[in-house]
Amino acid sequence: MAATVSVPLTPRGAELRVARRRAALHWVAVHTTAIAAGLFFVLPFVFVLLTSLMTDHQALTSDLWPHEWVWSNYAEVFRTPGFLTWWRNTLLYAGLGTLLTILSSVPVAYALARFRFRGRRLALLAVISMMMLPPQVVIIPMYLFWAKQLHLGGTLWPVIIPMAFGDAFSIFLLRQFLLTIPKEYVEAARIDGCGELHTLLRVVLPMAKPAIAAVALFQFFYCWNDYFGPQIYASENPDSWTLSYGLASFKAAHHTNWNLTMAATLLVMAPVIVLFFFAQKAFIEGVTLTGVKG
């Protein structure tokens, strides 16, 4: 990294040498720390992977490296009763939830960003307070509403349906982004005779793709990782369990199957990570294509 150019033995040369050495030390320090941090972040994944490939017996020991590589553990997990159902439910919850969130949150964010109306500040404040509300605060009346009045207990509908009415966090993020879109685009569309809805659909939305993609991703992760919602509403009916809830109740055919439990853990972690990698590419493409700094 540091060039091996001979540095003249002048006072100026000495300065240069000191500066170069300091830069090199800095590089070493930064990268050593980065590697140490990297290990902290990555080792738990490695550990889960390695344990998931051990035999039942070895998983209980303090060995770190599998003696035999039991790939069939993963097949075993898939055969666990309910595992595939959890997958299906989680995909339904996350997919439908994300779609509903986007459809309902974009118009609201647009209105909050672009329309002038009385009470706009108040509405924004209301959105922010919704963002701050712990779900446990309102869970009792909500549970009574969904389970007792609408008889939707034991299903995932009580967590999916509210997403058709906007998600405060998504609304807030989208609004912040929409504020950065220059007014000239909107005005040009208006001059061309577009109504507000058309302006939104034809002009603004294509420019907002990266933000919408980001919000969709966040919402997908939120649903995928959600434990509390499914616990409250779906726990009484194993057919409605999601991956997170199922994992927390994971008991294979026998007891203490740590290798299988770790395999299941990895299978729950993997999809979101894979999705992230794919989305990242689309994300970056979206940003560069529209030329709007995300």
Partner 1 sequence: MARPVTTVPAALRRKRRREGLRTLAFLSPWLIGFGVFFAYPLVSTAYFSLMKYNGFGTPSFRGLQNWAYVFQHYPSFWQGIGNTLWLVVVMVTLRVAFGLGIGLLITRVKTGAGLFRTLFYLPYLAPPVAATMAFAFMLNPGTGPVNGLLGDLGLPQPGWFTDPEWSKPALTMLAMWGIGDLMVIFMAALLDVPREQYEAAELDGAGPWQKFRFVTFPNITPIVLFAVITGVIQTMQYYTQAIVAGKVASGVIGGSGQQFEPGYPNGSTWTLPQMVYNLGFQQGDYGSACVVALVLFALSMAFTAVLMRRKSGLLGSED
Residues 131-190 that bind partner 1 (CB under 8 A): 131-145, 148, 162, 164-166, 171, 175-176, 179, 183
Binding track over 79-118 against partner 1, x by CB under 8 A? -------------------------xx-xx-xxx-xx-x-
Please list, residue by residue across 276-294, b when 16 or more beta carbons sit within 10 angstroms of its beta carbon and e when fewer do.
eeebeeebeebbeebebee
Phi and psi dihedrals of 166, rounded to 5? 85, 145
Measured in whole angstroms, the distance separating CA 245 from the mean position of its chain's CA atoms is: 17
Which H/E stretch holds residue 125?
Answer: helix 120-131
Whole-number Cα distances in Å, 42 to 22, 35, 80: 30, 10, 28
Q: Give the nearest distance from C-beta 113 to partner 1 in angstroms.
A: 8
Q: Does 205 bind partner 1 (CB under 8 A)?
A: no
Report d(CA 67, CA 73) in Å as an integer.
14
**CB-based contact 108:166 (threshold 8 Å):** yes
Pick out residues in 1-60 that bind partner 1 (CB under 8 A): 27, 30-31, 33-34, 37-38, 40-42, 44-45, 47-48, 51, 60
Pick out residues in 213-252 that bind partner 1 (CB under 8 A): 221, 224-225, 227-228, 231-232, 243-245, 247-251
Q: Take residue 266 and report the two structure tokens written for it.
A: 């990895």
Pick out residues in 59-78 that bind partner 1 (CB under 8 A): 60-62, 64
Report d(CA 153, CA 273) in Å as an integer.
31
CA dihedral 126→132→138→142, nearest 10 degrees, is 70
Q: Which is nearer to partner 1, 23 or 84 (by Cβ)?
A: 23
Query: Which range, of 4-12, 66-74, 81-89, 269-277, touches partner 1 by CB under 8 A?
Result: 269-277
Q: Give the nearest distance from C-beta 269 to partner 1 in angstroms.
A: 5
Could you say which of 54, 77, 159, 262 contacts partner 1 (CB under 8 A)? Answer: 262
Q: Give the nearest distance from C-beta 195 to partner 1 in angstroms.
A: 9
Report d(CA 71, CA 67) in Å as an integer.
12
Q: Give the nearest distance from C-beta 222 to partner 1 in angstroms.
A: 10
Q: Does 269 bind partner 1 (CB under 8 A)?
A: yes
CB atoms under 10 Å from CB of 52, counted, come to 24
Q: Give the nearest distance from C-beta 229 to partner 1 in angstroms.
A: 11
Query: Which range, of 5-13, 66-74, 76-84, 125-133, touches partner 1 by CB under 8 A?
Result: 125-133
